[in-house]
Amino acid sequence: MIERPWRCFWAVPLPAELRARLADAVAGMRADPTTDAEWRWADAEGWHVTLAFLGAIAPESVPALLTSVSAEVCDEPAFAVDAGGVGGFPSGRRARVLWYGISDADGRLRALAARVAQASGLEEAGPFRAHVTLARSLDRRGVHAPAPPSGALPIGSVDVRALTLFRSHLGHGPAHYEALGEAPLVAGVSMPAAAR
């Protein structure tokens, strides 16, 4: 029996400490019952910065993807990006996506995302906007993006040392993400998730 395609993407997960502080800020936003009811909230354990969305891929293509992207990025030195701020796409007043900001002032993350997309065989990648998706509006027209309680939103940084290939499991409730392996930015061999 042939296994159904997997929905996959390359991303950088948020570090645990920043994720915990951000989860506290999001809990403050969700304390307002009206705000909480307007959004489908992402699971904090899965918060990440997406670099390349692959869509549905054949499960047997995963080893080749890990090898290809690892070879592409192994010469890239690790770096860090600043994190902070909250907003909405396409705008804060009619937000369909509520995001936590990731700064890419020097374009380094954007350039890395383009290399990953190319090494993954994507013919055309959409515009890259570094962010972490916190929630999606239940109203397709969008709603006003909520503000976190004063002083609650954390400012921090995200170390980009390795890229993780994730499989997305959809169903009832928030999506669940399974790490399939990594592509380190420092010279090395791709590492299957089970080996870590």
| Within-domain flag for 168 | yes
| Span 21-31, pLDDT tens digits | 999 999 999 99
The CATH number for 37's domain is 3.90.1140.10
Which structural domain, as residue segments, surrounds residue 146?
A: 6-195
| Within-domain flag for 88 | yes
Contact at 8 Å (CB) between 51 and 10? yes
| Within-domain flag for 44 | yes
193 or 12: whose pLDDT is higher?
12
| Within-domain flag for 103 | yes
| Within-domain flag for 1 | no
Average pLDDT of the chain is 90
Could you give the number of structural domains in the chain? 1
Residue-level pLDDT at 189: 47
C-alpha 27, offset from chain centre:
19
C-alpha 183, offset from chain centre:
15
From residue 67, give the alpha-carbon distance in Å to each of 59, 73, 118.
Answer: 14, 10, 13
pLDDT band at 187 (very low <50, low <70, confident <90, very high): very low
| Within-domain flag for 26 | yes
Q: How far apart are CA 168 and CA 174, in angstroms?
A: 10
| Within-domain flag for 17 | yes
Residue-level pLDDT at 61: 96
| Within-domain flag for 97 | yes
Q: How far apart are CA 177 and CA 195, in angstroms?
A: 17
105 or 189: whose pLDDT is higher?
105
pLDDT at 125 over 90: no
